[in-house]
Structure 1
Amino acid sequence: MSNPIIALDNINVTFHQKKRTIEAVKNVSVHVERGDVYGIVGYSGAGKSTLVRVINLLQEPTSGSVIVNDETFFQADSEGAKKTRITNNDLRNRRRKIGMIFQHFNLLNERTVTENVAFALQNSELPAKEKAEKVRDLLALVDLSDRAEQYPSQLSGGQKQRVAIARALANDPEILISDEATSALDPKTTNQILALLKKLNKEFGLTIVLITHEMQAVKEIANKVAVMQDGEIIERGSLLDIFAQPNEQLTKEFIETATNIDKAIATISAQPLVTNLKPNELFVRLSYVGDTTDEPLITGLFRDFQVTANILYGNIEILQDTPVGSLLIILAGTAEQVKSAIATLADHHVVIEVIKGGK
């Protein structure tokens, strides 16, 4: 495997406030490969924004090492005593290759769209003509050519974020950090911005680190996921692995919200079919990945085991071109028959969760 474009190792960030010490990030390591869309998800206060600001040293860690593009930005021992750090001048130059977009856009209200994007090029050595041409190209890339002379106050939230993205791309970055960049947007606009980020990743090979509290955003474009809680990464893996077999309760909650399965379970659990389960019935959730979704497993349960399956809800997501599905069903049969049916499902890599049994 090639060297990661971002290597954060054993990162600790500690803040000292009067009579208390806050450990915002606790011994976290993250490696992001070139071309990744790496989603870091967690609730407010989890430490994800603090962690991501370490990448370009907007937040200097207390200890650990920060290596970007094989260059050591920062290194300090566990006590934070022996420390090496990139010079401020070198850091300014390197930061140009790390674009950032934020929840609140951070546009200059007194400047036009064109001037906001051009602002990022103020220290560029490009001739004025080439700067102007580059700004026009960037606005075309984000579909804002017709808004070039407007001011931020004349734009929608989604348009403002597009300006911010164009500005972040002005210095041809290799890395784009998105810190809750879709949190202030409505669902439709969020999907448009995520589609644009996905396009930038696919067409230009841009490595993206996506910070969010919404697993839905991660689901749309990320290929790798880390889940943060209380300053630590509690679970990480490929998008497919995390969605197919989450281990931590917090991860499960995020996924259930992103797929709406939590609402489906709550709604269906209140239906008479479930509240009045018979002694030989089980209300279960089946989760499956890939080829399993193409096999007539459910219809085969009656044929092979005389177990009936009443499907109450079904959902299939396509993640990384792979189907990932959930079914809520009532299984009915003798205890031995249902046990055999469940064993067969498990043999076909179906995860079975018994939500409620009949009494």
Structure 2
Amino acid sequence: MTTPIVSLQNIDVTFRPKGRVIHAVQNVSIDVQKGDIYGIVGYSGAGKSTLVRTVNLLQEPTNGSVIINGETFFSNGEGQNRQVIKGNELKEKRRKIGMIFQHFNLLNERTVEENVLFALENSKEKENVKKEKVAKLLDLVDLSDRAKQYPSQLSGGQKQRVAIARALANDPEILISDEATSALDPKTTRQILALLKKLNQEYGLTVLLITHEMEAVKEIANKVAVMQNGQLLEKGSTLDIFTKPQAELTKEFIKTATNQDQAIETISQSDAVTDLKPGEIFAQLTYSGNATNEPLITSIYERFGIVANILFGNVEILQGEEVGSLLVIFSGKTENVQDALDFLEAQSVTVNILKGEQA
């Protein structure tokens, strides 16, 4: 099995401010493979940023192990067996882990190119080589024409592009994006996410995407972990998490990201749903892969005599696979409806009964 580029094992982070004990991260383990865009999702205070700051030891864990590219950065915790890299060795290792943040962290008194050049101040490369590299990076993020401007002259999206160019200056293998799109409008957010995806696909950059927006994860991530109150609720491929979420919080995030919550709320108020007749149920179907190519609605009518009134439908592409969602009212004999639901689930369709006799 391939060695993960990032392996966080049984990570605990505990703070003790003024006699209190705060368990910011509790026994969390994730493995990130080279080339992943790994989304870590949770509301504010979930512990996701604290967890990811352990990757480059901006935050030392209380316990656990941090292993980057097979090399132990931190192990165990308190006591004689504690192992942690420090000083110049840590500084050197951090060069291969770039970071971008919500508020850009640019130097206002420096131009765009000077902000990017700042990341190379300790580099031993010659000045002309550094400037040539900065020019290439600004071209990469489509800011060549802004090189002499100052941050105050830039839009939010342009500032974030400068931050990305600066984060790439030392040729990192890993890029940590800590809520980097949270301060941006939806259009600019999509542009920044597209840039991160381009860097991942064309340059092999591994991205850790910390966010409270499942929409961002849906756009570019291939794997996702969901956190709440310092704990890991679930993790897996984006496709699996979106089609078979286990935790209630994950289901909530997904409904928001796919606009299913709005659709369910609106359609639930329609006469067809509020006035369900005996034998009718209102259900949500989620399906992916081969199931999207099967005439399932026709099949349950032919097999079980069940009529499906489709009130809402949506198909998206996740990780190259079609993922569909339907809101339907099933009508028929009770025992036949149950047989139809069992048939759908046997075809890898997730059925969530929202209203009716079997809800």
What is the TM-score with the length of structure 2 in the denominator? 0.97
Q: Aligned partners of 1:140 and 1:121: how far apart in 2?
A: 17
Cα deviation, 1:287-311, whole Å, max 9, x if unaligned, reads 1111111111112322222211110
The residue that corresponds to 1:268 in the other structure is 267
SS at structure 1 position matched to 2:255: helix
The residue that corresponds to 2:315 in the other structure is 316
Cα deviation, 1:36-61, whole Å, max 9, x if unaligned, reads 11111001001000010100010111
The residue that corresponds to 2:69 in the other structure is 69
Cα deviation, 1:137-162, whole Å, max 9, x if unaligned, reads 00000011111111111111100000
1:17-96 matched pairs, under 5 angstroms: 17-77=17-77, 79=78, 82-96=81-95
Q: Is the 8 A contact 1:62 1:80 kept in 2?
A: no
Q: Is the 8 A contact 1:97 1:175 kept in 2?
A: yes
The residue that corresponds to 2:139 in the other structure is 140
Cα deviation, 1:304-336, whole Å, max 9, x if unaligned, reads 222111100001111000011110001111112
Q: Is the 8 A contact 1:25 1:231 kept in 2?
A: yes
The residue that corresponds to 2:196 in the other structure is 197
Q: Aligned partners of 1:172 and 1:65: how far apart in 2?
A: 25
TM-superposed CA distance for 1:80, in Å, is: 5.2
TM-superposed CA distance for 1:76, in Å, is: 2.4
- The AA in structure 2 aligned to 1:262 is D
User: 1:294/1:151 Cα in 2 relative to 1: closer, same or farther (>3 Å)?
Assistant: same
- The AA in structure 2 aligned to 1:142 is V
Q: Aligned partners of 2:190 and 2:261: how far apart in 1?
A: 22
The residue that corresponds to 1:166 in the other structure is 165
Cα deviation, 1:74-129, whole Å, max 9, x if unaligned, reads 1124x555322113110001111100000000000111101000100111111111
- The AA in structure 2 aligned to 1:119 is F
The unaligned stretches of length 5 or more in structure 2 are none
Query: Following superposition, which runs of at least 4 residues in structure 1 exceed 3 angstroms of deviation?
Result: 79-82
The unaligned stretches of length 5 or more in structure 1 are none
TM-superposed CA distance for 1:234, in Å, is: 1.0
The residue that corresponds to 2:276 in the other structure is 277
Q: Aligned partners of 2:80 and 2:312: how far apart in 1?
A: 57
**134-143 vs 297-306, greater mean Cα deviation:** 297-306
Q: Aligned partners of 2:322 and 2:301: how far apart in 1?
A: 25
Q: Aligned partners of 1:169 and 1:254: how far apart in 2?
A: 31
The residue that corresponds to 1:208 in the other structure is 207
Report the identity percentage: 66
Q: Aligned partners of 2:336 and 2:76: how far apart in 1?
A: 61
What is the TM-score with the length of structure 1 in the denominator? 0.97
Q: Is the 8 A contact 1:228 1:235 kept in 2?
A: yes
Q: Aligned partners of 1:346 and 1:76: how far apart in 2?
A: 44
